[in-house]
Amino acid sequence: MSFQNPVFIPGPTNIPEAVRKACDMPTIDHRSPLFGQILHPARAGVQKVLKSTSAEVFIFPSTGTGGWETTITNTLSPGDRILIARNGMFSHRWIDMCQRHGLKVEIVETTWGDGISAARYEEILTADKSGKIRAVLATHNETATGVLSDIGAIRRAMDAANHDAMLFVDGVSSIGSMDFRFDDWRVDVAVTGSQKGFMLPAGLAIVGFSEKAMQATATAQLPRTFFDVQDMGAGYANNAFPYTPPVGLINGLKMTCDMLLNEGLENVFARHHRIATGVRRAVAAWGLDLCATSPDVYSDTVSAILVPNGFNGTDIVTHAAEKYGVAFGVGLGEVAGKLFRIGHLGSLTDVMTLSGIATAEMCMVDLGMKIELGAGVAAAQDYYRQVDAQEQQDAA
């Protein structure tokens, strides 16, 4: 692997040099007002990225998985019933965590490659006349399959069923890269991490709680210590954590929020869509298919590309690392070996993406796949040139 090449895994993502330097800072007294000058702007920045004016933002030394655990332990009690779809490896892992915590999990089994069915959620919630379901869980962007689900539609389904359950959303590989509307969708807890759209090293679990979720923390009985948001909130009031904080990472988060907001969130989302569309044009030129079953569920942060029968997607990833020093993502769980993944989120440009497309193309040709060398690159180039020309014309 080469440190000079960008990575094309769906996280951790490429780190801008200015952000890396922001994380590399002198030691400060983390119980002094100086830390508050880093902490509170970082939290405020995350709130804006969530498109919220009310979310209580908490930052834990962890990853997105810790964010899941923060969500359920602070809001639920043993034996509570939840509703969740399993349509990929990360929704599967969230289900596993809930079961280990003694929650009763109603699972909507969903084909890996499909999005969450809001209609099915509505049917189940409508039938739950006694309101036993305490929370609805949804993975906004299933990183293992490159599938985006419609959270707005899920909220509308909950409203149509007149159900009072809380809505918890895994936005680990969407927040900061694709449109996420905490307030408009009335999300109760949003979960993300530092290492994807926020362009930082792994190490932070970032969660946003609604007022309803905060009220639930008063009665929730699942055990929690490290991930207790009430303890964390009490620390914040004194410019501190209840334990030692990762000051450098939080300083980096402050900077990345500023970068995203200065670029403009809609511009950030448009950039990700443009880059992803170029990758999808390349995939079509190769004569291959995505795991995502229809354009309405295509992810703008990761493309999971199915390989033909007789080939192993993992071989492409291994070959890329060994021969060209470039990282792609392997297939996980039910799709292991059936595909490889190109991550296209975070600190990435059209030009950087072309290098990833070219490398994937070389690997497939090297391994004997019937791919015309240069076809995918040309298709992406043609798209990027057209889009750039149109953007320049629109700006004139």
pLDDT tens digits along 245-297: 999 999 999 999 999 999 999 999 999 999 999 999 999 999 999 999 999 99
| 24, 56, 59, 336 from 233: Cα distances, Å | 26, 9, 10, 41
**Single pTM value for the model:** 0.96
Residue type, position 49, single letter? V
DSSP letter at 190 equals E
Domain ranges of the chain: 17-262, 264-395
Q: Which of 338, 284, 249 is nearest to 22 (CA)?
A: 249
Residues 6+ apart with CB under 8 A from 283: 289, 290, 303, 305, 376
Same fold across 17-262 and 264-395: no
Cα angle 208, 213, 215; round to 5: 130
**Biggest alpha carbon–alpha carbon distance for the chain:** 62
Give the architecture-level CATH label for domain 17-262: 3-Layer(aba) Sandwich (3.40)
Give residue 390's pLDDT: 62
Asked if 72 and 78 touch (Cβ cutoff 8 Å), the reply is no
pLDDT along the chain (396 residues), means of 10: 89 97 95 94 98 98 98 98 97 98 98 98 97 98 98 98 98 98 98 98 98 98 98 96 97 98 98 98 98 98 97 98 98 97 98 98 98 97 85 52
Q: Count the alpha carbons within 13 Å of 192 in the hemisphere toward its beta carbon.
A: 28
The CATH code belonging to domain 264-395 is 3.90.1150.10
C-beta of residue 313 within 8 angstroms of C-beta of residue 330:
yes
What token pair was written down for 110? Answer: 């969903």
- Do the Cβ atoms of 201 and 7 come closer than 8 Å? no
Determine the distance from the C-alpha atom of residue 227 to the mean position of all C-alpha atoms in its chain, rounded to a whole number: 20
Angle subtended by helix axes 375-395 and 350-366, to nearest 10 = 170
